Structure 1
Amino acid sequence: MRIRPIAALSVAALSAVLLAGCAGGANPNATPTPSTSGAAADLCAAAAPSGAATESITVEGEVGEKSTATFEAPLEVEELQSTVVSEGEGDPVAAGDLVTYALTAFSAETGEELGSFGYDDAPVLPQQISGDNPLGQLLGCATPGTRVVAAFPATEQGAAEVYVVDLLEVVPNAAWGEPVEPTEGLPTVELAEDGAPTVTLPEGDAPTEFEKATLKEGDGPVVAAGDGVLVQYHGVSWDTGEVFDESWGGAPFSFTAGSGVVQGFTDAVVGETVGSQVVAVLPPAVAYGEGEINDADLKGQTLVFVVDILGVQPAETPAQ
């Protein structure tokens, strides 16, 4: 049995509140547009207040493992509330950080468990946290290892619900793997202090076949076709030498490997491990197609992508 997507797990609040805040970023398959980022609101001030509803809930279980929430049902929830159950350690998260989290959902009407995700056998993609997105409103400027219990009021879409949310860890915003010796003949890549790449094209004609090389080898799980993937990317046209699109400067980009992006972009990440950085050269056949070169839609152009793989969500995720 597969766990349903985040948007389907909790119709009343989870889709509207959490999924709305998931990292999206730019889209390397879309018409190039400038990257933008949301306001970095104060996380501490953004946290929802504790209240009578959440303070009446008893939570049992270890942080990072599925929990139980016991309360007198139906639980009266008039506004969004969030109460810290246990505090973690280390530095508080900051606006713009990528974080991993886990969640167990319960019906406020009956106390019945509705589902869960984010635990070891049901991982989800990291999410960028800020004071103006829902995850920031639940966790505020918490430290990794913190657990909160949150209560959402009923909406037109569904009944009130209770969530136990664990802030697991902060994920680097750029590839963290071990450097690999560059492949001769492919574009070279230099990294800024924040990890943003700059590409230098080699002399000579562009390759006529798809090529890629690993620049950093990560220690995470392997990306397979159909998986959800979170990446940073930087795209350069071999024909013009210009950067046509990138996620750097905004939110990382999430997509399904094999869907919604050009074939070469999927080929760049499949078979690679989380934490890796790859450089890939995409001839028109696996990019935007053959034809007269057109800057507007990149048709006929050979493209170079530098891709940092930050997270993966397996296509087949067992239910909890």
Structure 2
Amino acid sequence: MRSIVYALLACGILFACGGSSAQMETSPLGNRYQLFKDGGSGDPVATGDFVYFHAAMRTEGDSILFSTRQGGGEQPVVQAADEANDQIGPVEDVIRYMRTGDSAVVRVNIAEFPNKPPGLENDTVILYSVVVTEILSQEEFEARSAAEEAAKEEVRAVVRAREAERTEFAAGILKAYNEGTLENVQTTPSGLKYVIHEEGTGAEAEPGKGVVVQYIGQLVSTGVVFDQSFGRGEGIPFQLGTGRVIPGWDEGIDLLKVGSKATFFIPAELAYGAQGTPDGSIPGGSELAFYVELEKVE
């Protein structure tokens, strides 16, 4: 998720709530913003500091396009650039004037963009709402990152150790499905078929919430595994119900709770359609089987 946030920053499109243009200041780089310091504390950001923040992206008409709090995955962090650096986005620019707990609104005029971002062709302004949650020096950030990476690697090793066993289990489920002996298969009105192997007891997945999912994807016709997360040791994070994954996943994951283990049998029309994937790993018209484990709901 962090890579998505950086892409938005680079494009100048992370945005926000409220903020009258008449009340806004202009930074030396020409970015218009309004800074709220009521909740802030501590020293302001210094060059080289690492700043953890949350941001929401909104049109001037209050249509929210993206929120880092609901996107799933890790909280975004950016290293504060020197004031002489003008090759940064508006959020990165304004963050340099903030403290922990401060919030700001940044106004970006996209009417002058040569090519407007998809979906914003009829808009002229984007607003960012930004809240700084923590500021760390480079030394503190590097120490934290090393500790976090060590902890993550322990978790990844546990997940990777399950790869062979889970792959064998998924293959057995698909074999039974193809032979017509798989029990308790349910079908939704859209045509999605699924079996819940183990019902979770945690939070329910809901549209708009961030989720993390472990998975094994197979072609129903051949049993070929075209993608899986266990070998990487990390599940995939995404915001449910926002079209960031194939429709069969958005519908299927919505049926689960944290801890659930299930297999989805997804028809082509809820997956990659008649075209398949550009790399050819999933041919056009393919029915797909996904063994999934819902790890987290945020």
Query: TM class by shorter-chain length?
Result: 0.3 to 0.5
Between 1 and 2, higher relative CO (CA 8 Å, sep ≥ 6) is seen in 1
Q: Which is richer in helix?
A: 2
Normalising by structure 1, we get a TM-score of: 0.43
Normalising by structure 2, we get a TM-score of: 0.46
Instruction: Select the structure of larger CA radius of gyration.
Output: 2
